[in-house]
Structure 1
């Protein structure tokens, strides 16, 4: 693959770009791209295709890769092993999600990334038989998506975005459209969290423009639109989108809905309704929504990640609504939750809320003192 690496370096120079900038633009680890260019690791087909498009090589890189690649000889035993690997990857996803719901993303993200990278390396070195390749690609795409979600909850936003982009690319190569939709939804979610409503709207609109999108995917796209519109200050359209999502939730699960949409429920929509009202400055209206979301979340995992997330969101609403006694009670409950749940996303929001509360002249002195102690 030396010729391939030399040509990539030449194209990088011709285009006036660096290897690191290219890796980031494509959503790949720069260290991985460096190993590929230096001939120390076989590139995946999806990386070669992405490089070909990005560097405008008109298929030259794909041809070099194909000519320099030795087709692996796979045995029946290897095919059976690949099937076992796929089953293991699927089981890993379920285990990671169970742990995340109880203890938060920061506690689980390193294990998820390790599992994803190990599975990705097997793809990159051509060790997966052709017969099992599509299924393996799909399983790794799901694992990358889960790693992205856990990294997001752990506060590792740049690494999370790379994982979501990789998941989308893997799903596309696998022909797994439901997983493609999932990765896009996660990117829109991250955009809302990071204050990029324009990009969130573009992703949601792209999803809604696709033919025969399942109802639950449509519902999520409307939620992302509603959150983005609220950030942009468009009250009427934001509330309309959430109302449409609420109506869609009342419909039964459609056979076309992807299996990953199991978490799209009353708890999810209620929480987003509260967040939209909070973003619009309607704090008192947000409080009962977030109270209900906390109640629903606590019914499944009383001391889990969801309970911490909605407790912190509710604290923000109470503080904005000047409900000082409720702030104190919520802070006490958050203290016990934070001993078991490691969610950097919620901790950052909590720190921001506490700083704002400590600076409010209308907050009682006893509360400001308690906040400083916390």
Structure 2
């Protein structure tokens, strides 16, 4: 393989990009630390013009028994449903590591060549979805770097599988990650990449407009951000088509309103953000069974009320948050809550009674 790369004038990373394989995996193969799969060898044969020579060399004496890929696929799909249900009810903290374990186990089987070629694409697509779900759970539990790696892995697996819906999902999650961690330019690039694709499903485009609006708000471009939100709102109902991926089910009025509130908060218009956050929370209570969502929007409303110095509203929202903390373990929401409480406690002119409540809730965390 090294001789073939040298003859082609290609680096290991260039080969990884050309074959849509993880550079780290390719490095382990090149350095003799991992057995290459038949699929990798065949991909390299195509890229390097080797006419099957590398694939013929993959004949390990202790070749692994091929697993029942269909059973593995069913198991991975069932765990996705279980993890998401747990996340909606209780947050992602407790199940993030379990999801990663299932995903990594499936990845190892794939890399070892233990998945039959006839079901490999389906296996890749299922693994891509599991990597994406793992990334979301890691994101909700506050494990920032790990979540980004999982989204990137999901995108790569989806490309290998030719699974466009999961590829779009992974890109949307990377855009979300960029917003959360203040990388507006990265999010803008991803949103524009999605919007530039031909025949992209309407609800995927709607999400791209929302991500673009949020990144523009972070960059301080209020007029452009509001314009993107207007495009998204105008297409909210009309965007539902048969071409929409199944994962877009959660894009609704609550989601859009909450994003508008977050953008207004970033733009330091807390008076306009408060009614948006309140509406998103009411929609979450009335139409959504997700306890994690209620905690998220309650904390978001608290942040908006604190920013506008609406101290009595802060008090009532804090009192509502307390019982949720006994049920929902979402590292993301708790981290934000800590920051809001610290801001309230140290804010000049904050009433003593509110500062005391904030300190009590901080102690609970």
Choose which of 171, 182, 186 in structure 2 pairs with 1:199: 186
CA distance in structure 1 between the aligned counterparts of 2:345 and 2:54, rounded to whole angstroms:
59
Number of residue pairs matched by the alignment: 351
Displacement of 1:298 in angstroms is: 2.5
Cα distance change, pair 187–63 in 1 and its aligned pair in 2 (3 A): farther
CA RMSD in angstroms, aligned pairs only: 3.3
Q: Confirm or deny: 8 A CA contact 2:41 2:58 kept in the other structure.
A: no
Displacement of 1:78 in angstroms is: 6.0
Cα distance change, pair 63–203 in 1 and its aligned pair in 2 (3 A): farther
Displacement of 1:252 in angstroms is: 5.2
Q: Which residue of 1 aligns with 2:131?
A: 144
Q: Confirm or deny: 8 A CA contact 2:88 2:290 kept in the other structure.
A: no
Q: Which residue of 2 aligns with 1:55?
A: none
Displacement of 1:358 in angstroms is: 1.4
1:275 aligns with 2:268: no
Q: Confirm or deny: 8 A CA contact 1:48 1:61 kept in the other structure.
A: no
Cα distance change, pair 280–371 in 1 and its aligned pair in 2 (3 A): same
1:132 aligns with 2:125: no
1:329 aligns with 2:316: yes
1:68 aligns with 2:45: no
Unaligned runs of 5+ in 2: none
Q: Confirm or deny: 8 A CA contact 1:101 1:301 kept in the other structure.
A: no
Cα distance change, pair 62–175 in 1 and its aligned pair in 2 (3 A): farther
Q: Confirm or deny: 8 A CA contact 1:270 1:292 kept in the other structure.
A: yes
Choose which of 18, 26, 32 in structure 2 pairs with 1:39: 32
Q: Which residue of 2 aligns with 1:239?
A: 226
Q: Which residue of 2 aligns with 1:168?
A: 155
Q: Which residue of 1 aligns with 2:281?
A: 294
CA distance in structure 1 between the aligned counterparts of 2:142 and 2:249, rounded to whole angstroms:
24
Choose which of 107, 110, 129 in structure 2 pairs with 1:120: 107
Cα distance change, pair 68–229 in 1 and its aligned pair in 2 (3 A): same
**1:1-374 correspondence to structure 2 within 5 Å:** 36-43=29-36, 59=48, 66-70=55-59, 81-251=68-238, 253-299=240-286, 304-373=291-360, 374=362
Output the TM-score relative to the length of structure 1. 0.84
Partner SS state of residue 132, structure 2: helix
Q: Confirm or deny: 8 A CA contact 2:36 2:58 kept in the other structure.
A: no
Unaligned runs of 5+ in 1: 53-57
Q: Confirm or deny: 8 A CA contact 1:27 1:165 kept in the other structure.
A: no
Partner SS state of residue 93, structure 2: helix
